[in-house]
C-alpha cells in the first residue's frame, strides 16, 4: 500500500466534476464501429492539453488509434491503459429504445446514462482523469504511462460480400495495429465493464458457418421433394449440432463456467421469391473457447462435428467455414499489476476486490499474444437492461482513484 500521505496527495487532484463533464462529452460523440474519427479527434485534443506525446495512427481511412504517452524519468515499468472508442450499437436501432442506447447523456439519481459509457468510454474517462491527477500531484514517475484509445474492438466481423466494409471490421482491429506500430509496454489494464472486479481470464471466440444445400426448385414442381429443401435439412442438422453443444459445455469448462455456444444467425432462401426452394441454408455459431484450449484444437472439434454430419447425410452438401478466431486470455493473480490493483482497490474502498473469469472477450486476446500481460478491471453497473448503458458516477470516481494509485504502484516514483 502506498504511503497514506502520498495517496491523499494524488487523490486530492481527482475532480468529480471533470469526470462528469468528460463523460458527457464522450457520450455525445457518436462512434459506432467504423465511425470513430470524431471520438479520436476528441481524445487527441485531450491528450495534447495534458502535455502528453501524442501519436495518431490511421488504422484505415477515418478510423484512428490515438496514443498518449507520458515518459518516465527512469527505468521503471511501463503501464498501458487501453480502451476502445467504438460503441456496441449505432444509437439508431429501432429495437433499442432505452435512454442508455442513445448518444445523449442523461443523469438520474447519481447515474449517468448514454451510449458507450458502459462499454467502454467510461474507462477512457477514468484513465484520463487518473493520469491528470498524477500529473497535477507533481509525482515524478520512473516508468512510462500510455493511454491508447483504439478503434474497432466490438465483436463484429466481415463475412462474404453482403457484410463487408469498415462497420464490420472489429474484433481487435485497432489493437492489432497498435501493437505493431507503438512502443510495447510491460503490462496493460483494460477497463472493460467488470463492476470493479478483477477479471483474471476470459474465453476466446470462434465463429463458424455450417451450411446445407438443396435443389433450387419452383414450388409448383416440388411435390414429393420438400424433404430436400435446404431449410428442412438444416432443421435435422441442427438437432445434431445441439447435441454437440451439450457435450461442449463440459469439454470447454473454465473458471467455474460451462462452455457456451450461441446460435447467432440463420439464413436460407429469398424473401422476395418464396416460390423457390432455397439452394443453401447457413447457420452461424459463436463457439466460446477457454484460454487453455488452443484455437486449432477447437477448430478440429468443429471439423469432427461436420465430418460426422457429412457421413450421416452424404447428399446434403454440408460444408463449414471458420471466419473468426479470437483466442482467450488470462493472467496470474500473483502478477505485480494485479497485486497493485488489489492494493489500490482495498485502499480506496476499504475492502479487497472480487476476482473472477468471464465468458465475454476483450482486446487482451490481441495484447497477450504480443507478450503484454493484460488484466480487465473497470467500471460498470451490472448487466445491461432495457434502459441501456449506464454507470453510477461514484463508481466512475472510485475507479479513477484506483487507476491513479495503480499508476504510482506500478510505474514507481523518483
CA 43 – CA 88 distance, rounded (Å)? 19
Q: What was the pLDDT predicted at 414?
A: 66
What is the torsion angle, in degrees rounded to the nearest 10, for the CA atoms of residue 412, residue 81, residue 199 and residue 168? -170
Rg of the chain in Å (alpha carbons): 24
Mark which of 326, 347, 375 sits at the end of a domain: 326
The residues pairing with 388 across neighbouring beta strands, listed in sequence order, are 100, 385
Strands 355-358 and 198-202: parallel
pLDDT tens sequence across 304-334:
999 999 999 999 999 999 999 999 999 999 9
Q: Are residues 223 and 372 in the same domain?
A: no
Pair 303, 344 in one domain: no
* Residue that is written with C-alpha cell 469432427 in the block: 304
pLDDT for residue 150: 98
Residue 274 sits in a domain of what CATH number?
A: 3.30.70.360
pLDDT one-digit tens code per residue, 334-386: 999 999 999 999 999 999 999 999 999 999 999 999 999 999 999 998 877 89
Q: Are 167 and 74 in contact (CB under 8 A)?
A: no
Q: How do 145-150 and 63-70 pair as beta strands?
A: antiparallel
Is there a single domain that holds both residue 10 and residue 153? yes
Do 275 and 337 fall into the same domain?
Answer: no
Domain boundary among 290, 306, 326: 326
Spatial contact of 322 and 361, defined as CB atoms under 8 Å apart = no
Q: Are residues 346 and 391 in the same domain?
A: yes
Same domain, residue pair 295 and 355: no
Q: Rounded CA gap, 401 and 7, in Å?
A: 9
On whether both 11 and 127 belong to a single domain, the answer is yes
Average pLDDT, the chain: 96
Cα 76 to Cα 95: distance, rounded to the nearest angstrom: 49
Report the domain count for the chain: 2
Domain final residue pick, 326, 352, 383: 326
Residues 297 and 316 in one domain: yes
164, 92: one domain: yes
Nearest to 20 by CA among 135, 147, 120, 106: 106
Share of the chain above pLDDT 70, in %: 100
Note the pTM of the prediction, 2 decimals: 0.95
**What confidence tier does 5 reach under pLDDT thresholds 50, 70, 90?**
confident
Note whether 158 and 216 are same-domain residues: no
Instruction: Give residue 281's domain range.
Output: 204-326
Residue 50 and residue 158 in one domain: yes
Mark whether 215 and 99 lie in a shared domain. Answer: no
Amino acid at each position: 500500500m502506498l504511503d497514506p500521505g502520498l495517496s491523499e496527495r494524488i487523490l486530492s487532484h481527482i475532480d468529480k466534476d471533470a469526470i462528469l463533464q468528460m463523460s458527457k462529452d464522450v457520450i455525445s460523440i457518436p462512434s459506432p464501429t467504423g465511425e470513430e474519427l470524431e471520438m479520436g479527434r476528441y481524445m487527441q485534443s485531450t491528450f495534447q492539453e495534458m502535455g502528453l506525446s501524442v501519436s495518431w495512427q490511421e488504422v484505415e481511412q477515418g478510423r484512428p488509434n490515438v496514443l498518449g504517452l507520458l515518459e518516465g524519468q527512469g527505468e521503471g515499468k511501463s503501464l498501458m491503459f487501453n480502451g476502445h472508442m467504438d460503441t456496441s450499437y449505432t444509437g439508431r436501432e429501432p429495437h433499442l429504445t432505452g435512454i442508455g442506447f442513445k448518444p445523449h447523456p442523461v443523469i438520474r439519481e447519481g447515474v449517468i446514462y448514454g451510449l458507450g459509457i458502459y462499454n467502454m468510454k467510461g474507462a477512457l474517462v477514468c484513465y484520463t482523469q487518473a493520469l491528470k491527477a498524477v500529473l497535477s500531484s507533481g509525482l515524478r514517475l520512473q516508468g512510462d504511462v500510455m493511454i491508447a484509445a483504439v478503434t474497432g474492438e466490438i465483436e463484429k466481423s466481415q463475412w462474404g460480400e453482403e457484410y463487408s466494409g469498415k462497420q464490420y471490421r472489429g474484433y481487435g482491429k485497432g489493437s492489432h495495429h497498435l501493437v505493431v506500430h507503438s512502443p510495447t509496454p510491460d503490462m496493460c489494464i483494460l477497463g472493460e465493464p467488470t463492476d470493479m472486479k478483477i477479471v483474471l481470464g476470459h474465453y476466446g471466440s470462434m465463429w463458424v458457418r455450417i451450411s446445407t444445400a438443396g435443389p433450387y426448385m419452383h414450388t409448383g414442381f416440388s411435390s414429393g421433394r420438400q424433404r430436400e429443401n435446404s431449410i428442412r435439412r438444416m432443421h435435422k442438422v441442427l438437432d445434431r449440432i445441439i447435441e454437440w453443444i451439450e457435450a461442449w459445455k463440459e469439454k470447454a469448462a473454465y473458471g467455474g463456467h460451462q462452455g457456451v455456444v450461441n446460435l447467432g444467425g440463420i439464413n436460407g432462401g429469398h424473401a422476395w421469391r418464396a416460390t423457390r426452394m432455397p439452394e443453401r441454408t447457413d447457420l452461424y455459431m459463436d463457439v466460446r473457447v477457454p484460454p487453455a484450449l488452443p484455437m486449432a484444437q477447437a477448430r478440429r472439434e468443429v471439423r469432427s462435428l461436420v465430418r460426422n454430419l457429412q457421413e450421416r447425410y452424404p447428399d446434403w452438401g454440408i460444408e463449414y467455414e471458420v471466419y473468426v478466431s479470437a483466442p482467450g486470455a488470462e493472467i496470474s493473480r500473483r502478477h505485480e499489476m494485479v497485486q497493485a490493483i488489489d492494493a489500490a482497490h482495498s485502499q480506496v474502498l476499504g475492502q479487497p476486490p472480487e476476482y473472477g473469469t468471464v465468458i465475454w472477450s476483450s482486446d487482451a486476446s490481441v495484447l497477450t499474444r504480443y507478450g503484454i500481460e493484460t488484466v480487465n478491471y473497470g467500471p460498470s453497473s451490472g448487466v445491461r437492461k432495457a434502459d441501456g448503458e449506464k454507470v453510477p458516477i461514484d463508481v466512475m470516481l472510485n475507479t479513477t482513484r484506483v487507476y491513479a494509485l495503480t499508476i504510482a504502484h506500478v510505474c514507481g516514483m523518483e
